[in-house]
A and B are shown apart, each in its own frame.
Chain A
């Protein structure tokens, strides 16, 4: 049997928790970093135009109802605008939370679970939002009953 020896304190051994086992090079982190900066700049413009057209221009905040939203989305410009805003904001926010998880979760398993929840929520919200932008109907007919609001055309 080997005689147990005391390891030299200057053996150059790196504590296992610190060694980067596999190098993870690639341009993903660079792309994410660049995306945060570019999308941030674009979002500042998009969000303030969105806030101004919805809450300041015209009748201001009192004009906002289903009819107003449907009126905006009748124009392809606002459809594309809101779609871009949705996607950019969601991806920007998701990437931000992803970096926070990376920075604060200490175990890889915790990271995996938190990011799983995050990505699921992101996909659901993006798909749902995209669907609503293109299929929004302010005067739906449910079970043969038209839920007529004041702005809906009477049949």
Chain B
């Protein structure tokens, strides 16, 4: 067998149909089970994985073949549901969108729960504080006047205005990458602001002022320090920090 390269597995081009290169990895998972111990610890496994495998596949392999007690969330496993955000090698990502070959396989791959939210078990965190902030910005269409008899029409330009923030899947990768949120969990967080942005700049919605008022809070948009951690973390590529800046601008121009 060929010796493995020091870093980043190179997949040979045109390796032939059905032939997928394999490589060995060390997977280290942060374990926590409050029913056994208050202390978290690392467990590690040596696995032989394939060039098409993602971190989620490695976790599946561990759970299905090595240690069934490893706990993590995943639903669709294809980057749409946003269940499996976790801290992989110190960065928030979706385990189902992170290919093992894109990570440094010469070193152990570290998998931890996302930071800033209470850990319930292993990689599962309590998402309630996150969803509470989301609920507070009223993430639903609010309109005035009569119901139209047909659908509410919108021009392509008006739709384009908030297109970026419609992509959010509420995985919490952004909010749990924000150092301001880590401190005390009081900050609304990037995800709530992104979803407020989606309605504030929607031409069909009439409650923009209410949402701006909610975010003009001590713990609202003004706690953003533009560290861009959220933009880096977003698995959907949303320009999160830009969206927050636009909400700041909207509050300013409404009030000054």
- Contact B128 A14, beta carbon cutoff 8 Å: yes
Q: Considering the chains assembled together, what is the distance between the CA atoms of A32 and B248 in angstroms?
A: 13
Tell me which of B132, B217, B218, B223 contacts A19 (CB under 8 A). Answer: B132
Task: Judge whether B126 is part of the interface by a CB distance below 8 angstroms.
Answer: yes
Q: Which residues of A contact B251 (CB under 8 A)?
A: 30
Query: Is the beta-carbon distance between B128 and A25 smaller than 8 angstroms?
Result: no
CB within 8 Å for A18 and B255 given contacts A24-B218, A104-B183: no
B255 touches A30 (CB 8 A): yes
**B-facing residues in A90-122 (Cβ within 8 Å):** 99, 102-106
**30 pairs, A vs B, C-beta closer than 8 Å:** A12-B128, A13-B128, A14-B132, A15-B118, A15-B129, A17-B184, A18-B128, A18-B129, A18-B132, A18-B186, A20-B217, A20-B219, A23-B214, A24-B217, A24-B218, A24-B219, A25-B217, A25-B220, A27-B255, A28-B218, A29-B216, A30-B251, A32-B222, A33-B222, A33-B248, A34-B256, A102-B223, A103-B223, A103-B225, A105-B183
Chain B residues within 8 Å of chain A by Cβ, number: 27
User: A20 — which chain B residues lie within 8 A by C-beta?
Assistant: 186, 217, 219
Q: CB-CB contacts of A35-78 with B at 8 A, as 1s and 0s?
A: 00000000000000000000000000000000000000000000
Q: How far is the CB of A105 from chain B (nearest CB, A)?
A: 8
A34–B255 Cα distance when bound, in Å, is: 12
Asked whether B184 lies within 8 Å of A106 as measured between CB atoms, the reply is: yes
Shortest Cβ distance from residue A2 to the other chain B in the assembled complex, whole angstroms: 23
Q: Is the interface of B mostly helix, strand, loop or mixed?
A: helix
A17 and B219 contacting across the interface, CB-CB below 8 Å? no
Chain B residues, Cβ within 8 Å of A105:
183
**Contact: B252 with A29, CB < 8 Å?**
no
Complex Cα distance, B214 from A24, in Å, reads 9
Any A CB within 8 A of the CB of B180: yes
Least CB distance, A139 to chain B, in whole angstroms: 48
* Across-interface contacts of A13 in B (CB, < 8 A): 128
Q: For B219, give the chain A residue with the smallest CB separation.
A: A20
Considering only residues 173-190 of chain B, those with a C-beta below 8 Å from chain A are 179-180, 183-186
